[in-house]
Each structure stands twice: as structure tokens, then as C-alpha cells.
Structure 1
Amino acid sequence: MCHTETAPTVLLGPQLNRKLSRPMARKVLTSLKSILKDAQRRGNVAQNVAAAVVIKKDKRTENVKLKVGVDIPTTQEVGVIIGAAKGRWRPVLMTAAFVGLRASELRGLRWKDVDLKGEKIHVRQRADRLNQIGRPKSAAGDREIPLRPIVLQTLREWKLVCPKGDLGLVFPNGDGGIENLSNILQRGFQPAQVTAGVMVPAKDEHGKPLRDGNGKPVFVAKYYGIHSLRHFHASWLINRKADGGLELPPKEVQTRLGHSSITMTLDVYGHLFPRGREDVEITDLERSLSLA
């Protein structure tokens, strides 16, 4: 009897009942409140039933530090993910990883704000979850970011075939309009991870592994949101030059990420900054004392 080897089941996007992190749940709730508020103003609903809803902090997980390989893609993972990205998704993911823009900033980025000759991007606007164009999240969000040679080359090539539209967007949809975040995730980021083999076993709401009808494990893309590429960018800015990073000081990292305060930068990424050479210096001191 002949047995046929079947490929593992892979789930993407809405096919997976995946729990949202608290920060992501807060963002979704904020969007829902905005939608209902607008609907109430138009007279389409009697009240904003989400207005009083809050998402409480989980003291067990609220202060958990981001981990490389868990929350932050490794350098090797980013390389294979971008390498596996097809068509218009490659320049999007390349820019997310090596420029560190928020998803809203990527979606609202205009060609007039990309200086290919000056080798920099000026962030001046964003597209929110309702596809509304507006100013950056804060005054600090309006910033200039230098471009790496590989990003410059990718954007030059992409500009030649980029769909044209009245908004002049760098990463528009096929009609030149504002691209939906769900498309970037479900058609670009997640499939690229699957193609690259950057996957993890899927789990149900109780934390148990999911299996398909044949009893085989079900796999999903390892990193759900594109914000993980922004985390990677932050870690690259922070890492020592000897480890392939830029080794920038906290204030410069804050500026490039567009954080409104240095406190925000340190709260999220402070544990990634090099701790110096105290252990080496102490060892040297002990050696010198023993020889005295």
C-alpha cells in the first residue's frame, strides 16, 4: 500500500483564532470606539456601546521584556523573510525592517517625502486604521531617517513600477489608494514567513497544540504583526557594532523611532542596550590586585 506524504497545515490571518496581545487589543478597541462614535454622530447607532469598555493591565505580563527570537525577529529570520517576500511586499518589509516606520507611517508614506538623492525619508503623515490621512502620532513622529544603501536601491526599483494615485503613496494598493493593514499582514508578511519557514506550532485558546484532521500539527507564521519588524529595527540601532548593530545612544534611538519621550524608549528597549564592560574591567582589576 502506497502512502503519500502530506504537507503540514498552515494557517494565515483570519483562519486562526489567535489571542491578541493587550497592546494590540487596546488599539483594536480604540478603532472600534472611533467607528461607533462616528456612527453615533451620523445617527446610525443610538449609543457608543464600546465607550465604557476598558482593557485592564495584566500584572503578570505587562512588564515582560521583549525577547529576540520570540518577540523580535533575529537577523537571520529577517533576511529569509525579506528574501521570500514577493512583488510589492518586498519593498514594504524592507522599509519596515531597515527604516523602522510604524505600520501607519508605512501606509501613509509619500514619494515626495522620500529623498533618494539625499538618502533619507521624512515622516510627515500617517494613515490610521480607518484609512484616514493625518499627522504623525506626536510631534516627535515628524522626523528624518537616513536610508541604508539596500533600502535606497530597493525603493529606486520599486518607484519604477509602483501604482500611481492622487495621494502619491510609496506603498499603495493596486489602485494607488491607501493599502489596508490586513492586506500587508495576510498577503505579504505572514506568507513570506511561511515561505521562509519562519513558523511555530499553532495553539488553541487553552495553549494546547492544534492538529488538523489527519492528526498533524498546524503551523502559523511566527510573528503576527508587522510591528515586530520595528522591534527588529530598534534592536539593530541598539546592538554593538561588533555584533552588526549601529550602537546608537538612547537619545538617537528615540529620535529615529519617533518616540515622544526617552522614557518610552527605555521602557520598551532599555534592556537591550549594552551594559558596558564592567565584568571585564572587574576581572582586570582583580588580576592587577592579585599581582600587587
Structure 2
Amino acid sequence: MSVRKRVSKTDPSKFSWVVDYKDGQGTRRLKTFAKKKDADAFAATAHVEVREGVHVADGASCSVREAGKLWIAARERAGRERTTIAQYQNHLDLHIYPHLGSEKLTSLSVPRVRTFEEWMLDNGRSPAMVRKVLVSLGSLLADAQERGLVARNVIRDLRGGRGASDHRAQKRAKGRLKIGADIPTPAEIRSLIAVLTGKWRPVILTAIFTGMRASELRGLSWDAVDFEKKIIRVYQRADSYREIGRPKSESGEREIPMTPMVANTLKEWRLQCPKGKLNLVFPNTKGGVEGHSYLAHAGIEAAWKRAGIVRDTGQIDEKGPPVIAPKYTGMHCLRHFYASWCINRRSDGGLELPPKVVQERLGHSSITMTVDVYGHLFPRGDDAAELAAAEASLFA
């Protein structure tokens, strides 16, 4: 491996620096630099990489766009869900390709990716979206690394030093889930239940008292509802393309007890539920899979408005009155309520279940996830009344 100066034949005052070396396969490679220090740095790195058998020359690599196509194809062969593949493709098409698509994998560096990250943040991407895009880019580079198209995954170097602390800082800024802000209060739930009618009553009641995800509710079959044992078996879900499949993880398959209100409501609903080949509990009018947006907007969010659980958006309607929006959006707030109901003390109207049982009810993949999200809601056993009782028993 050598570094030599190359003078321009047409203009002797102009010159560059060339690294002349052989890669791991014995193929001669030339790489040109404007500055000698850059050539020396590359030569030192390439020497180590060739010796360790991980060096990839520019000519043996490919562009980010070409690597992206290989990565997507590999994810499809691995059986990833259609919605997951679509999410990966959106990350590529909307974020990665416009800024890095034409660049060689071997040209990517930590400063270059750091600049890309900051560009996304400065142009309206949320920290959560930026994190997801970088995870996808890191997965793409890992796939390319296994194919011998690049020697280094720069995302690991970028995130290794500060990724965890950045994520913790974002969580601190967002704060913990709060009752009355992120989680409906018992009084709000009672107001919501009071206005439920028609097809929305069974699905929203089931969401409140089982904590099932929207995809699980949309894919729930009557075969999974056991009225004799009063349990609901979760073993399938409907994705955003309205296709039925298994839960994303093994822990997603579970049994959830039904309250008397849910069991009685579902028995009544079964008599008028639209019939279809899928035998769904909460289908659309034709018996097929209900759309997620329709369930969220026409179902739960409209019900919040009828119950008067709303917030002022600060905007003014064309006709004059302020624009009112539901205080809570989407179905996930009901899952949060169910978790808090499982956790709360019996004296406060809850079930007071241990963390492991709460994890199983929610279908979390690990107890860590349950404690991270809801740990602050569990009774601490150190409030004034309990401390006084403990002190009294000590001296009894």
C-alpha cells in the first residue's frame, strides 16, 4: 500500500494524492484525495481493514438506494408484515433516498449522517420519527455489511455514544403518562359509557375493560369469545390493509377475562352483528374488517365529544364559534385506562393486580415494557395512611 503524489499533465501546478493498494481479494485499487492527510488517513484505515478481511472498496460497494432495494427484499423474504414493509419503504422514499440515495455506502460517515439527522429535525420531523428513520438506516447498513457491500455501520458509531442518552432526554421532556392528560379518569370513563349507543357501545366497552389494541379489536372473531368461561382469546389482529394475521409477538396471544357488562353487551350485540365470512365481532356493515381511522374518528372520538370530554383547539370556525376537539384521540387512551384500572388499589376502584399479571393482560413482550410505561402508577405502599398503619403494627 502506497501514497503517492500525482501531478496533472495539463497543469503541473495542480496535483492530487493517490492511495494505491490491493483489497482483500487481491484486486488493485486506486483512491484519489485532494489532501495528503486525507490520503494518509484512508491508507491507515484501509490497511487495517484489508488485514482483518472487512475492507470494501468503493468499486465493490453500491449506492444507498441500491442497498435499500436489497434490504426491503430481504425483509420481505423474512416474512415481515405488509404494514412493516410499507413503513420501511416510507422511511426510504420520504427521508433517506432524497438526501442519501445516490451516495455510495462506503462514503457514508458519522458527520454525514449527523448532518442528515439534524436536517430532519430542523425540517419538521419529530424526534420519534427521526429515531425510527435512523433505525431503518442502521438496519439497511447492517444488511449491506453482511453482503460485503460496506465495512462499517456508521449508525452504530453515531448512536453508540449518545443515542441512549438522547432517548432518555426525549422521554424526560415528554414526561410520564398522566391521569387526566394521557389517561382518562374514572369519571370521564363513566361519562363516556353513558353516551355509548348502537354499534359503538360493544366495541368501546370491550376496549375499556380489556385493554385490547385497535388492531386486535378489528380482528376479533366470535370464535375467540368464550361466554361460558367469560374470557376473550386474542390470537389474531387486522393490519392497516385490513388483512388478518397473528399478533406481532408471541406474548400478544393471551386470554383476557370479560367483565359482566362486556359479556352481556356482546351477547346482545351478537344478535344484530353484521355477518361475514371472517365471523368478526366488530366488522363493518358488510361483515369485513372495519377501518382503523373510522373506528377512531367516527367511534371513540365522536363519543368523547358527545360526552363533553373536549378541549378548545384555539382555532375559530368559519362561522365564528371556537373549534372543539376531543380531549383524547385514538383508541390507545382506553388501553392506558385499562392498564391503570388493573394497577389501582381495590379501595380506589381498581383490580390491584401485580405487574406480571398486568403485563400478561396487556400482551407486552416483557415486564420491562410494562414497568417503564406504567410503573409510576403502581401503589408504593408509602402513603401517609399506610405508613401510620405500619408504624402502629410495629409497636402493637
For residue 256 of structure 2, give the secondary structure of its aligned residue in structure 1. Answer: strand
Aligned residues: 248
Looking at structure 2, the residues matched to 168 and 80 of structure 1 have their Cα atoms a distance apart, in angstroms, of 31
Deviations 1:234-276 (A, max 9, x none): 0000000000000000000000000010000000000000001
Rate the CA distance shift 1:62–1:220 in 2: closer, same or farther, 3 A.
same
Matching residue of 1:77: 188
Given the superposition, is the C-alpha separation of residues 283 and 182 from structure 1 closer, same or farther in structure 2, using an over 3 Å criterion?
same
Match of 1:264 in 2: 369
Specify every segment of 5 or more residues in structure 1 that has no aligned partner in the other structure, as ranges: 1-29, 40-46, 203-208
Q: Does 1:253 align with 2:351?
A: no
Given that 2:381 and 2:387 are in contact with CA atoms closer than 8 Å, whether structure 1 keeps it comes out as no
Q: 1:148-227 counterparts in 2 under 5 A?
A: 148-202=259-313, 209-213=314-318, 215-227=320-332
Q: CA contact under 8 A between 2:83 and 2:240: conserved in structure 1?
A: no
Query: Is the 8 Å Cα contact of residues 162 and 170 (structure 1) preserved in structure 2?
Result: yes
Identity %: 50
Question: Once the 2 structures are TM-superposed, how far is the Cα of residue 34 of structure 1 from its aligned partner?
Answer: 3.0
Deviation at 1:190, TM superposition (A): 1.1
Give a deviation string over 1:107-163, Cα, whole Å, max 9, x none.
000000000111000000001112121111211111011110000000000000000
Distance 2:289 2:95 in 1: 28
Q: Which moved more, 1:226-235 or 1:60-69?
A: 60-69
SS at match of 2:333: helix
Does structure 1 conserve the Cα–Cα contact (< 8 Å) formed by 2:274 and 2:287? Answer: yes
- Contact residue 238 and residue 273 of structure 1 kept, 8 A: yes
Please say which structure displays the higher CA radius of gyration. Answer: 2
For 1:122 and 1:286, the matched residues in 2 are separated by: 45
The verdict on how the C-alpha distance between 1:158 and 1:215 changes in structure 2, with shifts beyond 3 A counting, is same
AA aligned opposite 2:297:
Q
- Provide, for residues 31-84 of structure 1, a one-character-per-residue CA deviation record: whole Å limited to 9, x for no partner: 877337789xxxxxxx95147395237765424100111100111111221221
Any gaps of 5 or more consecutive residues in structure 2? 1-80, 97-119, 121-128, 132-165
In 1, distance between residues paired with 2:393 and 2:195? 53
Partner of 2:219: 108
CA RMSD of aligned residues (A): 2.7
Aligned partners of 2:222 and 2:279 also within 8 Å: yes
Kindly report which structure 2 residues correspond to 1:1-292, keeping only aligned pairs within 5 A, or say none: 34-35=85-86, 48-50=92-94, 52=96, 54-56=129-131, 61-63=170-172, 64-202=175-313, 209-213=314-318, 215-277=320-382, 279-280=384-385, 282-283=387-388
For residue 9 of structure 1, what is the aligned residue in structure 2?
none
Return closer, same or farther for 1:250/1:59 CA change in 2, 3 Å cut-off.
closer
Aligned amino acid, residue 262 of structure 2: V
Instruction: Select the structure with the greater relative contact order (CA < 8 A; seq sep ≥ 6).
Output: 1
Tell me the TM-score normalised to structure 2 length.
0.58
Change in CA separation of 1:261 and 1:37 when aligned onto 2, cut-off 3 Å: closer
Q: Is the 8 A contact 1:33 1:51 kept in 2?
A: no
Secondary structure, aligned partner of 1:200 = strand
Distance 2:167 2:332 in 1: 21
Quick one: which amino acid aligns to residue 198 of structure 1?
Answer: I
| d(CA) in 2 for partners of 1:70, 1:167 | 37
Cα-to-partner distance string for 1:194-226 (whole Å, 9 max, x where unaligned): 111010011xxxxxx212245532210111111
| Aligned residues of 1:169 and 1:177 also touching (Cα < 8 A) | yes
Alpha-carbon distance in 1 for matches of 2:390, 2:350: 29
Q: Which amino acid is 2:295 matched to? A: I
Distance between the aligned counterparts of 2:390 and 2:257, measured in 1?
Answer: 41
CA contact (8 A) 1:33 1:48 kept: no
Contact map agreement 1:111 1:169 (CA 8 A) in 2: yes
